[in-house]
Structures are given as structure tokens and as C-alpha cells.
Structure 1
């Protein structure tokens, strides 16, 4: 494989940055990826001349889109700093992501280091024989002294590789430019052996880059991404970008997605694209990340403006950043005709069921969950005592949307809140809790202090029956659904493993003193297997008592459980009898479609 070196750059107008760039020499990055087989990159960054006595060099401790401190600098070795004549400079490390370089005279500074990149699932950095995915927070060090200066990036890559980024390209392949480090850190690079597609929608340029073999249909994906692109006007009155890049990874197991300033990366296991359920997961993720281009990247809470890459960025409004994005993602797909009304309501009913079975909603508010996101873990304690900014943020957004529609006789919805946030609080501004309340009051004439205290600042249990009735809907189990016995616990799900993952607060197992981590051995003195656990419970009925034999901290123990009952299957949303014109109008104002049910209460099949 033959390396290619590149150097010529242009000035950029990709993004109106948080600070006006100074007219100084650029910060220049050189990335050597010519030997990718060991997941290693050689990085050189040259900072402009400074007359300071020392220069602070940082590697971020978290990456945008993931509100969690990560051991990013652990992948750095062979750090070296030199002056403009190539003389080595003294340095010492002052924090996990910080180096201090001593300067004896005015000089430019070049820093060299090696990066290990094998964290594909973190969407941080990954290099192998076929590609490199470079999130700047995991690759590019920066100096606070030059954070606002223009940036040039040059890649040396194997000959057959092609490079793409949301950044503006240079005049030659494998080179990019950005107005400053904040644009660079939010503009990942995908370089390697890939497939590339392009389309235009509503005056914007879009690109789709696929890496990895899989059972995806590029024609279907590109066509659906184009359909999504036309739906932005349902919420906002403009675009924060001229060009947008979708990066799709078909992986050996990694999954997830991350939004960026001008692009997104979406990962799914390589054979998880074809089945309808799998495809809906992919395309709803794409919709979610597209919405983030406004909600988070164009406007975001004050606690996230500007980003502080070296510490947590605290805000009690992360539920708006993430949960509201989840709330809108299926609405855009529905408006675009990518999903059916049945698929939309199936998703909503699953979310309602999940909410109703989450004991944590009685303990933690969504504001507290937002503040605690940086230190959150998802285990037995969290399930019983926490809410999630994505799923519960969705529900808070739903409740706020229905309240707005009701208060304004369908003249305003939650979409108008986000339209106003985009109009009035574009970066470098950031919005506060009071700003959101003021927008709500401006739309409705109502003071939202009490509503906010009840639904955001306090744990809340929503009345879904009353809410959905406004739209002529109801949620419940089918009449044919049978009730099953419930022990109030879940297993890890691992093959032939009877270890308990979670014990539901105040449920039967909780009342009996069963703990997460216990390993079940027998029921009523008879051995039980993981595959036979459900069948064994089916031998009993609600109210029966059973004796579990289990290991608790490696000690044999017995616990007596009085079984409860749980409905079988998932809830479904259906129309109420004798739906009114007002209810039909409410539904259309809410999700933008006509009444989707026929006279028998069945979903009208979409026209082919």
C-alpha cells in the first residue's frame, strides 16, 4: 500500500463559530495512517508562534454527543514537543488530558504523538486495514491558546482509500479545513475503502458513505434519507448547514450513533439492516441524528455552551437535547411516508408500556436525571430508582406537546418551542430553564412554573388515558391477552445463565429479599435451567408461593416468593368509539397526518 501526502488548503465558511477567528497562522495537523494494521496513527500538530512561557496542550476527556468522561488520553504514547528549529522542549503532564510544554523563547511548537485507535463502538477512533474513523476528540490534541484559530488537516493514507468529512475539503484529496477547533472536534473523518453516494434536497448537499459489508440496500437507504431531508420545515424555518454527511458503519457487533455539527455516524451489526424491525431501528436512528443537527448542534442549553472538553458540562435540560430528539424522530419518518401510522403507534405503545413498568419514574425527576447523566450507570439500582433522559425525556416532551395543543386550541405545538429555540438561541447563545418557560408563556399566555415543577422538577406519573383521549385514542392490552405469573425479576439473558440481572422495586422478589446477582438453582427443590425458567413459572398462578434455592454471595440460600401477575404481550393503541371531529383534528395537529383508522378501528393500509 502506497501512502499519499497532501498539503494545500483553502479558507472555510462551514460554520459560524462561537468566536470570531483571529487572523493568525493556522493550526496544522498531519495524520499518518499508512500502516493501519496495528490500529496506530502518527499525529503531528504545529501551533503558531507564541511568546508565552509555556503552552498548554489538551486531549479532550469526553466527546461531543456522549455525556460521559472517557479515558481518551490512555491511547496516547510517544509524546514529544519541539520548537521551530526542531529542538526538543521540556514538558510535564498536569492532568489526565493535559500536557504543559515549557518555552524559553518565542516560537512555534510542534507536538508529535502516537494514538492507538481500536474503539469503534465508542465512535471515538478506529483504524484497521480497511478504514479509519477519526472523531477529533480522540485523535486531535489542541491548545486553549489557539482553540479559535483556523485548522488544517492533512492525511497520509493507503493509495486506494477515499476520505470524507463534514468539514470543507482542501484542493487535494485527504485534506480538510475548519474555522477552528470547535468545528474540527465536531466533524469526524471517515477514510478508507467505502461506498459513496450524493443527493440534493431543498437546496442542500448530502453525502452517504458506507463502510463495511452487510445486508443493507444502499438504494433504499439513500432514498429514505432524502425523504427525511424534506421534513425539517415541519419544525424549523431554516437550516444550520449547507452540506451534510451520513457515515454508515456495518460492523462485527458495534452499534449506536453520534450526532455532529455537519454529519453523523450510525453503526449496526452488518446483517442487521434487511428485516423490517432492523431497518426501522436504523432509519429512526438516522432521523434522530438528523434532528440533532438543529437540537444540540445549532442550539443547546447554556450548560453546554461553550463546550468545556476537559470536564463535565452540567445542565438540567439534557432531556430536551436528547429526549425531545427521540420524540420527534418518528414524527419526521411518519410525515415522510417512511413508516406507517401503525408502526408509529406501535413504537409509542411500547414506550408507554416501558414507562409504566419503570419503578424509577416514582423516584427521580427528569431534571435530576439530566444533571446526573455524566455519572449514570444502568444496572439494578438505576432501573429501580432512575429515569432515562432519552425515554423519559420523550414522555415529558409528549406531555408538553399535548398541553400546548390543548392550551392554544391546536394553534401551537411543541414544534413551535423548538422553532423558537432555533430562532432566538443559536450558538454561541445558550438557553436556560427560564428561557424555555418564557417561550411556553409566549405561545400560550400561561405561566408554566407549576407545570414545570410537576413534570420536570419532580418525579411524575403521566395519565396516558386522559392524554390520548384528546386525540381519540386509547391504549391497552388485547382482549385475548392472557395474564402470566410474575416473580418481579429478570435474568441476565445470557445462554444457560440463571443469574438475576434486576429485581423490580416492591415486586414479589424484592419483598422476598432476592437480590440482583443472585444465581437461581431450583424452584421448590427441583433444578431449573435458564431456558426452562419461564415454563416453570407457568406451572403456577398469581397468589401461589414458591421457594427459590439460590446462591447469594456464593452462599446457599432459600427465599419464599408470593407470585403476582403480569399481562402477556404488549399494549396497543387503538381508536376510541365514536371519535369526534375535534379529536381527529387534534391528532392531525399533533403528528401531521389524517385520521389513520377505518370504520372498524383498523389502520388504513397506506397506498402503494
Structure 2
């Protein structure tokens, strides 16, 4: 006898009621690093009893700190699912990072899969016979149904390995626990053969873990990290953590860094630590990631709250998340006494030069760059028509800082904006453009919508001498500045070839009709080589017309290029003559240190040592 329509409806309603709410229990993860030499592990996940008719499990398609979709799930094979009795469950791959499991009745669900982990450069996952770096976004699947459930992680690792994470420790040396998947995904694990140090600063505990051999000085690094960690009060009035973990990788080439909830991973080639310039790059990165613990991890733009791990998280404020962090990183080092004022201004002068040489600053705003970050590349088109949320965001932050200082008569600075964001918009809240503008108005009494339109919503160009003069500074190429030839093109730098990598918009090569990908053959009829490229053009002066022979789309052609000029030498930032008391006061309010110049405009401290 067939059921009546009412019976069908009643049955369906009861099914829906029964298959609705998840049970409140832990999600358990186990990672068995069973074939480290082949970068392989076996992962198992146990989800609590569910009354749903289907269970969806996901592996994120991006990782926090890198705003680009990645082929994360390509490292997964041999996926399987079983019920609480070990019976196989049918499943379907429904998206790039998604598996859907069919359930005939309420049950706990166990999944297993093989993981390949050899993405060290992406700081996503890496396993070898000496360690494993495990970022959960590239390792551990989750179910949206149980995303807020407590999680436990247990590792099976080779003998002699040590395991560290920002998560709370579990019952065994290689286990951890977290409040939910969001904490787990922002708490990477470093396990392996490593060196471990710890210290305290301002009542907080810190771990420093080194993996890989290199020319680093562990004691110097720990000493400087201690100084950095004590400088948070430069901006904020408290800490969002009780314990923090610095993870340092000395690699065979991989570099980069990523911020996490209460930890960071920093990577440099193993012999790129000793020289002062290399070390400053490392310690500046550490400062950058530490600042991120507040700016991004404790508060972040609305578009990133909560994280959507399966889709792009759009925001026009990524320049605040990243560029402002870059802006503060050297200031923190300066206040900590790790770098000198001379080193600080050397970095700033390099940023000024990069900005002046970037044709894209006339095309793209920092708001547009933020929205485009998810699809950004860095080829010839990007160089000519784009800006970077880090470098351009730094300069937008600096312009905003100077504006707040001026408009508040030095009572407030851009640091106070971030203090207010931390106080008022902690996760799970998110802030938007209006929120920042309201904070700016509160601090200065002025409407910042016009400023925002000029410097954020449209491309901007800074008059650096006008800006820096407020702090008694100016840019200079020396007492007798000289010029040199500008061709407006650069080589790829690969295999000693003469392939043009970039052709600067509206520059000499651009005006002559050259394009990235063209191959330079000769200058004025004479063969040119990659190692002699720069020297060959030193034979000319700005204003000369030169014939270039190139292969363009495999066709040989001649073009005439009119050489332009560019400054010769190194741009530096130094004192204006006879700085006023107001300028010195502005300088101190800006950087928090006393005026570093003497009456003759010379640096009081000229050594490059911290």
C-alpha cells in the first residue's frame, strides 16, 4: 500500500527534525607521518554523531595570510569514509575542496586520506625525514557542521622529534587541543628535529623553534625577539595571547613568512642570516608577523570575518591589514633599539625610490589593489598598471599618519587608530571603511571622507619632500647629483638571456614600441650580451637616440629608442637645514625617538649596529 501524500509529508518532516542538530562532542584528528622521506602522511578524522542525511567535509582552498586560491586538495588521495561500526559510506567529490558523504542513519563518521606534503615555499605543509610543518588549512579537513566543536590533534612521528604549536598541549608530547577549527587552522604545528628556546616579556611566555641548519645566531635572534615582544605597547594596551611561538625555518631556498593566531612561521635560505642586511630582513619580518597578531588576527576587515575557507574573502581594506603592518614593523624595531635611525631611513628611502619607479601608481588605487589581491600576478602588465598592498599600503599609512599628527596637533597618530580598532572591533566583529573614518574624526575632529577619496579610492602620488619636511627631513641624491641613462626596460635575469621582462609604461622602450617578451639582439648594429647589457648603455647619455635590434614574435626588427635620464646614485633621507622646534616635535611624535641629527644635519649615530 502506497503512503498518502499526508503520510509522505509527515515522514519527511520527521526525517528533517531528526537530521538537524549536531551532537556536541570533539572532532579528533590523527596524523601518522609514516613515510616522511616521500613527504607522505596518513590522516584520519573522527566526527561526532550526526543526524544529517549528508555530511560535507572540506579542505580549505586557501590559507590564512595568503589571499589567493591554491590547489590545496591536489595533495589528497585515497579518501574513504566509514560509519561508527567501520562500514564504508558512499561519498562524492562535489567541489575542489569538498567531499559529500551520504548517511542512511545517524552515526559518527570517520574519514581517512593520504596526504602529500611538499609545499614548503607556500608555508602550507611540508614533510621530510627531519621535520613536518603542518598548517591545518592544507592538512586537516573539517565539516561546516562541526566547525565550532572542540578539536584534538594527535601525531605519530619518528623517534626523537619534538612538537610545537600555538595550541594548548594535549595529554601526550605530540598532541594538541583547540576550541574549534578556526583556532586549529590558525595554529600550525612544527614537529621534528629542532632547537627550542623560551623567554618571557611583559608577562607573556614565548617559544622560539628553529628547524634546519644555517648561519643564524640563535642567541642574537632570541635576544632581539625578546626586545620586539616587549614593544607591543607602542600601539596597543594589552595582548590577545598568553603564549606565543616563533617558528624559524632555515631552508634550501624557500623564503617568506605567515602570521597566525599566536604564532608565526618565518623562512629564509639557510645562509641568509649572518650579514647585517640579511639579518635586518629577517628581524623585520619577525616584527611584521608579530604586529599581525593584533592587526589581522585580533581585528580585521568585515570581508574577512568570519573566514570563508572555500571562497575568496573580498575586502577593500587589505592595504590596512598588510600595508599598515609593513609601515609599523621598522618603527617597532627602531623603538626597541634593534635598528638605528640611519637604518630606518635607509629602508624608507628605498621605498620612496620603488614608488617613484612604479608606473602602476598612476593607474590603481590601494582600495582596488586590495579587492584585486585574490587574482593578482606580478608580470609586465601588473608592474605597469598595479600597485602592491604592502608597499603602496605602507605609503598610504604614512600619509594618513602624518595627516592625523597634523590635524590633532600631535596629540594623536595612526597608532591610535589601530589601538581603537583593537579595543572596539575585536573578532568576531569586523570593521569597515566608515568605522575607520569615524575613529579618525574622533581623534582629529575632522571629516576624513575627502582624504579617503584622494588617497584610498583613487591612485595617489606623494610629494615626499613636502611630506617629510613636516618632520624636518628631505630627500637628496647628494650635494652634486648626477644622472644616468634610463632605457625603461629590464631583463628577465634567467639563463643569461636578453628577454625583456618589463617595459615601463610611457618609458623610452615603451615609446619605441618594445614589449615584454621581446629579445634584444644588438645595439647600434653591435651584438649585446646579458652581462654587458647595463655597461653597453653606459656608453650613451640621456637624450641620445639608439637603434635596437630585437626579435619580436620571432621576427627581427629595428627600433629607435630615445634614452631618458634618471638619478645616478642612492637616494637618502636627511635633515633640512636648521630644523625648527615644531619639526623636531613632529619627528618625535611620529617615531617616538629624539631628533637624530646634529646642528650640521649629520647623523648623531652613524654606525649600523643596533
Structures share a fold, TM > 0.5? yes
Q: Distance in 2 between matches of 1:91 and 1:424?
A: 44
- 1:390 corresponds to 2:394: no
| Aligned counterpart, 2:60 | 60
Matches within 5 A, 1:84-99: 84-99=84-99
The alpha carbon displacement at 1:476 in A equals 2.0
Match of 2:110 in 1: 110
Q: Report what 1:78 is aligned to.
A: 78
Q: 1:588 offset after TM fit, Å?
A: 0.4
1:124 corresponding residue in structure 2: 124
Once the 2 structures are TM-superposed, how far is the Cα of residue 566 of structure 1 from its aligned partner? 1.0
Q: Does 1:209 align with 2:209?
A: yes
Comparing 59-68 with 28-37, greater Cα deviation is found at: 28-37
- Kept in 2: contact 1:207–1:246 (CA 8 A): yes
Find the aligned partners of 1:287 and 1:391 in 2 and give their Cα distance. 16
Residue 166 of structure 2 is matched in structure 1 by: 166
Task: Summarize deviations over 1:249-308 as a string: whole Å, max 9, x none.
Answer: 000000000000010000000000000000000000000000000000000000000000
Cα contact 1:33–1:157 (8 A) shared by 2: yes
Q: 1:598 Cα shift?
A: 1.6
Which ranges in structure 1 are unaligned for 5 or more consecutive residues?
1-21
Match of 1:483 in 2: 483
Relative contact order (alpha carbons < 8 A, sep ≥ 6): 1 or 2 greater? 1
Q: Deviation digits for residues 123-143 of structure 1, max 9, x if unmatched?
A: 000000000000000000000
1:48-447 equivalence runs, <5 A: 48-447=48-447
Q: Distance in 2 between matches of 1:576 and 1:178?
A: 54
**Counterpart in the other structure of 1:28:** 28
Structure 1 stretches of 4+ with a deviation exceeding 3 A read none
Distance 1:553 1:419 in 2: 55
How far apart are 1:190 and its partner, in Å?
A: 0.2
Tell me, yes or no, if the aligned pair for 1:256 and 1:268 is still in contact at 8 Å: yes
In structure 1, what is the Cα distance between the partners aligned to 2:243 and 2:54?
39
Q: Tell me what 1:8 maps to.
A: none
Give the Cα–Cα distance (whole angstroms) in 2 for the partners of residues 135 and 29 of structure 1: 13
Q: Offset at 1:482? A: 2.7
CA distance in 2, matches of 1:482, 1:535: 17
- The CA deviation at 1:495 is 4.4
Counterpart for residue 521 of structure 1:
521
Per the TM alignment, residue 504 of structure 1 is displaced from its structure 2 partner at its CA by 0.5
- TM-aligned CA deviation for residue 407 of structure 1: 0.4
The total of aligned residue pairs comes to 588
Deviation at 1:493? Answer: 2.0
Residue 478 of structure 1 deviates from its aligned partner by 1.5
Q: Residues of 1 paired with 2:507 and 2:390: CA distance?
A: 25
Q: Hey, what's the Cα distance between the residues in 2 that align with 1:500 and 1:479?
A: 35
**Deviations 1:56-97, CA, capped at 9 Å, x for gaps:** 010000000000000000110000000000000000011000
The alignment partner of 1:420 has SS state of helix
Q: CA deviation at 1:197?
A: 0.2
Residue in structure 1 matched with residue 39 of structure 2 by the alignment: 39
Q: Helix, strand or coil for the counterpart of 2:457?
A: coil
Per-residue CA deviation, residues 464-483 of structure 1 (Å, 9 max, x unaligned), is 11110000000121234431
Instruction: Give how far 1:602 is off.
Output: 1.6
2:34 match: secondary structure: coil
Greater Rg over alpha carbons, structure: 2
**Is the contact made by 2:43 and 2:113 (CA closer than 8 Å) also made in structure 1?**
yes
Q: Secondary structure at the match of 1:158?
A: coil
Bigger CA drift: 131-140 or 569-578? Answer: 569-578
Output the CA distance in 2 between the equivalents of 1:169 and 1:510. 58
Distance in 2 (alpha carbons) for counterparts of 1:409 and 1:449: 20
Aligned counterpart, 2:448: 448
Q: Secondary structure at the match of 2:484?
A: strand
Tell me which residue corresponds to 2:4.
none
SS at 1:77 equivalent: strand
- Match of residue 540 from structure 2: 540
Shift, 1:34, TM fit: 3.0
Cα distance in structure 1, aligned partners of 2:300 and 2:571: 34
**Structure 1 contact 353–570 (Cα < 8 Å) conserved:** no
Task: Summarize the Cα distance change of 1:275–1:480 in structure 2 as closer, same or farther, 3 Å threshold.
Answer: farther
Residues 569-591 of structure 1: per-residue CA shift (max 9 Å, x gap): 22100100010111001000000
Q: Deviations over 1:377-413 (max 9, x none)?
A: 0111111100100000000000000000000110000
Write the mapping of 1:464-483 to structure 2, written as runs, cut at 5 A. Answer: 464-483=464-483
- In 1, the alpha carbon distance for the partners of 2:493 and 2:345 equals 28
Inter-partner Cα distance in structure 2 for 1:480 and 1:99: 67
Per-residue Cα deviation, 1:108-157 (whole angstroms, up to 9, x for no partner): 00000011000000000000000000000000000000000000000000
Q: Give the aligned CA root-mean-square deviation in angstroms.
A: 1.2
Deviation of 1:23 after TM superposition, in Å, equals 7.8
Query: TM-score of the superposition, structure 1-length normalised?
Result: 0.96
Q: Conserved in 2, the CA contact under 8 Å of 1:495 and 1:530?
A: no
CA distance in 2, matches of 1:143, 1:516: 46
What does the per-residue CA deviation read over 1:298-335, in whole Å, with 9 as the maximum and x for residues that have no partner?
00000000000000000000000000000000000000
Alignment partners' CA distance in 1, 2:24 and 2:130 = 37
Structure 1 residue 361 displacement after superposition? 0.7
TM-superposed CA distance for 1:534, in Å, is 1.0
Cα drift, residue 492 of structure 1: 1.2
Does the residue aligned with 2:281 lie in a helix, a strand or coil? helix
Give SS of 2:157's match. Answer: strand
Correspondence for 1:11: none
Change (3 A) 1:569 1:494: farther
Q: Secondary structure at the match of 2:42?
A: strand
C-alpha deviation, 1:497, in angstroms: 1.5
Q: 1:528: Cα distance to partner?
A: 0.4
Q: CA deviation at 1:463?
A: 1.4
1:521-600 mapped onto 2 (5 Å cutoff): 521-600=521-600
CA contact (8 A) 2:23 2:50 kept: no
Secondary structure of 1:515's partner? coil
